[in-house]
């Protein structure tokens, strides 16, 4: 019994300590599919900025079919309706899902929103 209690206390302490190393959540941004991908949706979790100015993020996508061309998708910040800040690329699983880390090394207040496009195009498949 004492061993089980000790193990439980260690596990709880480990989990609490581990959380201290993780950045806090700054904002969660919902993305919806466009006419190009009407059933798609995504959630972009933006974590607190680090000392260097990087905004670590996690993108969680559902319902986005793999691109017909085989090219990856890209996450961009937009300004005045144009792609302006590249944040990373990803591929989805055959079931249309993906959970991937991203980064935005920019001043976010200088942008209007976020989009996901197929590599080599400017037509959004997901937008904020």
Taking the model in full, what pTM does it have?
A: 0.82
Q: 107 in a domain, yes or no?
A: yes
Inter-CA distances, 115 with 34, 65, 78, 124, Å = 10, 16, 7, 6
Phi/psi at 93 (nearest 5 deg)?
-70, 165
Measured between alpha carbons, how far is 108 from 127 in angstroms, rounded to an integer? 16
The domain containing residue 41 runs over which residues?
Answer: 24-127
Domain annotation covers residue 11: no
Judged against a pLDDT cut of 70, whether residue 104 lies above it is answered with yes
Residue 14 lies in a domain: no
13, part of any domain: no
Quote the CA–CA distance of 20 and 123 in Å, as a whole number. Answer: 39
Does 15 map to a domain?
no
Q: What local confidence, expressed as pLDDT, does residue 12 receive?
A: 40
Position 10 confidence tier, pLDDT thresholds 50, 70, 90: very low
């Amino acid at each position: 019994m004492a061993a089980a209690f000790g193990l439980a206390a260690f596990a709880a302490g480990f989990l609490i300590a581990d959380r201290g190393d993780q950045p806090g959540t700054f904002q969660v941004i919902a993305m919806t599919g466009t006419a190009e991908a009407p059933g798609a949706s995504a959630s972009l979790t933006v974590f607190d900025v680090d000392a260097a100015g990087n905004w670590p993020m996690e993108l969680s996508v559902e319902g986005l079919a793999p691109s017909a061309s085989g090219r990856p998708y890209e996450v961009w910040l937009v300004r005045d309706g144009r792609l302006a800040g590249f944040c990373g690329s990803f591929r989805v699983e055959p079931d249309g899902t993906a959970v991937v880390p991203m980064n935005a090394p920019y001043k976010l207040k200088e942008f209007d929103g976020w989009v996901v496009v197929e590599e080599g195009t400017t037509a959004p498949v997901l937008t904020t």
